[in-house]
Amino acid sequence: MSQPTKETMLTYIEESPSVIRKNVKRSKELTATLVNEYLEKNYRNIWIVASGSSFNGSHCARYFVRKHLKTEVKVVTPFTFIHQENDFTEDDFVFVVSQSGYSTNAIEALDVIKSKGRKAIGVTMDLTSDFKDYADLMVDYGIGYESVGYVTKGVTGFALYLMLFAIEAALVKGIMTTEEAESLKAVIERTADVHEKVQEQTKKFYQDNFLLLTSMDKVYTCGLGAGYGVALEGALKIGETVQIPSQPLESEEYLHGPSLQIDPRLTVFMIDTGLARKRINDIYNANKIGTFHNFLITTNKEYENDPQALVVDTDIQSDLLPLCYLPFFQYIAHQVTEDTHRWPKHPAYDKHDKLVASKTANYESRVEH
């Protein structure tokens, strides 16, 4: 009898487009719980308390939510929220995100919200997780279970959820017409097709740049606006899988210190979503002088003949491009780790994790690395 195929990051990268299509179609139903909570008062701001890929997914969607819901969106890590920035008021809609539902810092953040007399709202992919014992209200953002700890479908699905939440809330508040909402959802649904194309493009890109990508030593991922969310997630994925120093930066901040490190070993990924395109492209071109490990993801067709640029053929707007760009970094992180045999961690990691665990004890039985 053949053994069942083990799920990997690739499994969930490949499932992401179907999640996009399915969740766009059930947008109103999917977001109803959070939308109803948001509409109970005339909130002026939204606070998202999140860490890791949940933090990154929040930044992937932040500019879309700000634009279409016409509200400020603050993304704060649980540790900072617990110990310093928890001065939210009645004007602020606050919720905590933990994709797994087992993050100890997210659980503590829920307790802080309760201590201030507010409803503790927990957003997660797993309604049976430990989150349920601490949240007053549980919200499922609709991607199903992801057994691999290096979440891929989860971050794409969460960014999508926030975007759909913004559309449905804006529709009810009268900020957006039905026609505008349906048009936006149709564009979001098209990102699923682009996601699939980017998966295939990235496979070829990886083979064309195999030696450069499998010899990465230290990495900067640089983006602006929604592209900064992609930079955050790209750096996290490369760092936690390939196990090399990997830092996200706002594109221009790369020039204010980090570029001093440029030499042939430095790896820089520039993320071009169309914002400040000339400046970002200029930085990419300048990097060619100092490093071989210089890459660009863009929709700019001027780079179609550049082997170190992945050109995404789409007219989808800048603040939706994270849904298209994320698989580029997810695939590279997975495949470099696979081909260089870097999945095992140093023996000290397990001891370190036991001393300062970031997940509850119940988490280990749910996730396989």
Say what the pLDDT of residue 146 is. 85
pLDDT, average across residues 287-309: 98
Q: Which candidate, 216, 231, 205, 203, places its Cα nearest to that of 309?
A: 205
pLDDT 10s digits, 237-254: 999 999 999 999 999 999
**pLDDT tier at 171, thresholds 50, 70, 90:** very high
Q: How confident is the model at residue 1 (pLDDT cuts 50, 70, 90)?
A: very low
- Token look-up 């969460």 returns 158
Q: What is the pLDDT of residue 292?
A: 97
pLDDT band at 206 (very low <50, low <70, confident <90, very high): very high
Q: Would the CATH topology of 9-191 be identical to that of 192-339?
A: yes
Evaluate if pTM is beyond 0.75. yes
Closest among 248, 252, 258 to 221, alpha carbons compared: 248
**Is a pLDDT exceeding 60 seen at residue 367?**
no
Q: 225: burial class by Cβ within 10 Å (0-12, 13-18, 19+)?
A: buried
pLDDT recorded at residue 368: 44
Find the Cα–Cα–Cα–Cα dihedral 180, 189, 272, 238, rounded to 10°.
140
Instruction: State residue 72's pLDDT score.
Output: 98
User: Is pLDDT above 50 for 11?
Assistant: yes
- In this model, does residue 208 exceed pLDDT 70? yes
- For 66-111, the pLDDT digits (tens) are 999 999 999 999 999 999 999 999 999 999 999 988 899 999 999 9
- pLDDT at res. 356: 87
Chain position carrying tokens 């039905």? 178
> Under CATH, what is the fold of the domain 192-339?
Rossmann fold (3.40.50)
pLDDT recorded at residue 4: 53
pLDDT, position 369: 39
Say yes or no to pLDDT of 365 above 90.
no
Q: What is the CATH number of domain 9-191?
A: 3.40.50.10490
Q: Which residues contact 13 (CB under 8 A, 6 or more apart)?
A: 152, 153, 199, 327, 330, 331, 334
Q: Give the pair of three-digit tokens for residue 243.
A: 């196990």
Q: How many percent of the chain have pLDDT more than 90?
A: 89
Measure CA of the first residue to CA of the last residue in the chain; give whole Å: 25
State residue 247's pLDDT score: 98
Residue 76, token pair as written in the block: 């704060």
Q: Mean pLDDT in the chain?
A: 95
- Average pLDDT on 361-367 reads 69
List phi, psi (to 5°) of 319.
-75, 0
Q: How far is CA 82 from CA 49, 50, 92, 136, 308, in A?
A: 10, 11, 16, 18, 42
The residue ranges of every structural domain in the chain are 9-191, 192-339
Over the stretch 121-134, which tens digit does the pLDDT of each residue have? 999 999 999 999 99
Write down the pLDDT at residue 364: 67
Half-sphere exposure of 290 (CA within 13 A, CB side): 14
Burial of 277 (0-12, 13-18, 19+ CB in 10 A): middle
> Which pLDDT does position 148 carry in this prediction?
86
The model's pLDDT over 332-363, given as tens digits with 9 standing for 90+, comes to 999 999 999 999 999 998 888 888 888 888 87
